[in-house]
Amino acid sequence: MAQLDIDVQLQRQDFSLAVRARIDMHGITALFGPSGGGKTTLLRLIAGLEPDARGRVTFDGHCWQDDEVIVPAHRRGAGLVFQDTRLFPHLTVAGNLRFAAKRAPAARPGADFPTTVEALDLGPLLDRRVQGLSGGERQRVAIGRTLLARPQLVLMDEPLAALDVTRRADLLPYIESLPTTFDMPFLYVTHALDEVARLAVRTVVMADGRILMQDDTPAVLERLDLTPLTGLPESGVLLDGRVLSHAPELQLTEVDIAGQRLSIPALDRAPGSAIRLRVRARDVALALLKPKHISIRNVLRARVLEIDIDRDTAFAEVLLDLNGAHLRARITRASADELGLRPGNELFALVKSVAMDGEPLRRDV
């Protein structure tokens, strides 16, 4: 499997980018994060279009940039599909495609003209001038053009961002089918979670010029707090459990989590069915003794695994073990000191609120 190995810095007046990552590339890999987080800049940097960048970029054993050498964009074999397509206005659609095909390295296997035209439905467009194309058509031509240059790696910069909802839905299947038709790795920039969920095998999360995490897409989706769709991920855990019983008069449902009971607001699920709950770290408090006279109903026995202190804030995060399942608690550093928390401590986790996350996420790759 091809590997993209990056260790780069780029300093701008109002923005700094510092990325160190090793990404296994196959199929579509999403580069996800809020707008203005440096995703496009990173893409351009990989393509060789940011001459001010410092550091090292290696793809599949080929060094594209290090302290001594900077391979220019036209020799990298990194195709970039720009958000604004950048088709050549003096050429027809066919002319744009042939421009790329003529410059494709003959020795490298990759897209050929008929396959590309077929895969992206470009046949009816070939004789058109690019000025007359719709946004979606333009993107298809731009994608086809990049594929025909036979790059080793295809970089795509929010190809759907400039399109309206209908056109997006039209274009998405084309993109989805690319990895099966063309044996090239794709790095796909987006700030839309639905595109990530639908297209990407793996997902790299980026914000503020840094890479926050990368993992298989389902794992990343589980770790994100999806409410502010484009915000930073908020820590928390997913708990797999089973519905035990219902107490209709109290509007409560009893759930088994790793052998302990949790009561949550009534849930329309038959006893015995598997459910996935999301518990945010900030909704979990800790107590050394089992508290009495307290409104919180969910008190779970737990053991401290790790304490993660953030010196820049007032908070510490405590990772807890519940007979194999995990829970995260966000408490103040002061409390952590007062309670004298150490890994191995047995204590009680007080869960204030639980969100239902539906069926356990599953994705067929």
Partner 1 sequence: MDPGPVWLTLRLAGVTTAILLIVGTPLAWWLAHTRSRAGPVFEALTALPLVLPPTVLGFYLLILLNPAAPIGGFWRAVTGDSLTFSFSGLVVASVLYSLPFVVQPLQTAFASQGRGVLEAAATLGAGPLDRFISVASPLAARGYLTAAVLGFAHTVGEFGVVLMVGGNIPGRTQVISIAIYEQVETLNYADAHRFSALLLAFSFLALLLVYSLNRRALPRVI
Q: Using the minimum distance from each CB to partner 1, give the nearer residue, 8 or 43.
A: 43
Query: Does residue 39 interact with partner 1 by CB under 8 A?
Result: no
User: Closest distance between partner 1 and the C-beta of residue 235, in Å?
Assistant: 38
Query: Does residue 85 interact with partner 1 by CB under 8 A?
Result: yes
Query: Does residue 275 interact with partner 1 by CB under 8 A?
Result: no
Using CB under 8 A as the binding criterion, the count of chain residues that bind partner 1 stands at 31
Residue pair 210/61 in contact by the 8 Å Cβ criterion:
no
> Which residue in 72, 124, 291, 343 binds partner 1 (CB under 8 A)?
72
The DSSP secondary structure of 134-147, one letter per residue, reads -HHHHHHHHHHHHH
> Which residue in 86, 290, 297, 363 binds partner 1 (CB under 8 A)?
86
> Which residue in 24, 36, 84, 332 binds partner 1 (CB under 8 A)?
84
Of the chain, the end-to-end C-alpha distance in Å amounts to 16
Query: Does residue 47 interact with partner 1 by CB under 8 A?
Result: yes
User: Closest distance between partner 1 and the C-beta of residue 146, in Å?
Assistant: 7
Neighbours of 314 (CB within 10 A): 10
Query: Does residue 290 interact with partner 1 by CB under 8 A?
Result: no
Alpha carbon of residue 72 to chain centroid:
29
Phi/psi of residue 93, nearest 5 degrees:
-60, -50
Query: Does residue 138 interact with partner 1 by CB under 8 A?
Result: yes
Taking the C-alpha atoms of residue 214 and residue 24, their distance in angstroms, rounded to an integer, is 10
> Which residue in 14, 109, 131, 295 binds partner 1 (CB under 8 A)?
131
Residue pair 224/233 in contact by the 8 Å Cβ criterion:
yes
Q: In 3-state terms, what secondary structure has residue 86?
A: coil
Query: Does residue 90 interact with partner 1 by CB under 8 A?
Result: yes
Alpha carbon of residue 21 to chain centroid:
14
Residue pair 347/290 in contact by the 8 Å Cβ criterion:
no
Tell me the HSE value of 151 on the side-chain side, using a 13 A CA sphere: 25
Query: Does residue 277 interact with partner 1 by CB under 8 A?
Result: no
Amino acid (1-letter code) at residue 221: L
x/- map, 172-201, partner 1, by CB under 8 A: ------------------------------
User: Closest distance between partner 1 and the C-beta of residue 162, in Å?
Assistant: 11
Taking the C-alpha atoms of residue 88 and residue 97, their distance in angstroms, rounded to an integer, is 10
> Which residue in 32, 82, 174, 186 binds partner 1 (CB under 8 A)?
82
Q: What tokens appear for 229 in the block?
A: 């769709």
Query: Does residue 74 interact with partner 1 by CB under 8 A?
Result: yes
Taking the C-alpha atoms of residue 305 and residue 319, their distance in angstroms, rounded to an integer, is 5
Q: Near partner 1 by CB under 8 A, which window of 71-79, 164-172, 242-250, 262-270?
A: 71-79
Query: Does residue 144 interact with partner 1 by CB under 8 A?
Result: no
Taking the C-alpha atoms of residue 48 and residue 37, their distance in angstroms, rounded to an integer, is 19
Length of the chain: 365
For residue 106, give Cα distances in angstroms to 161, 172, 178, 290, 343.
33, 30, 21, 72, 59
Alpha carbon of residue 201 to chain centroid:
9
Query: Does residue 300 interact with partner 1 by CB under 8 A?
Result: no
x/- map, 96-125, partner 1, by CB under 8 A: ---xx--xxx--------------------
Q: Using the minimum distance from each CB to partner 1, give the nearer residue, 159 or 236.
A: 159
Q: Using the minimum distance from each CB to partner 1, give the nearer residue, 104 or 206.
A: 104
User: Closest distance between partner 1 and the C-beta of residue 72, in Å?
Assistant: 7
Residue in the structure block whose two tokens are 């209709």: 248
Query: Does residue 147 interact with partner 1 by CB under 8 A?
Result: no
Q: Using the minimum distance from each CB to partner 1, give the nearer residue, 130 or 189.
A: 130
Residues engaged in binding partner 1 (CB under 8 A): 47-49, 72-75, 77-80, 82, 84-90, 99-100, 103-105, 130-131, 138, 145-146, 149, 151
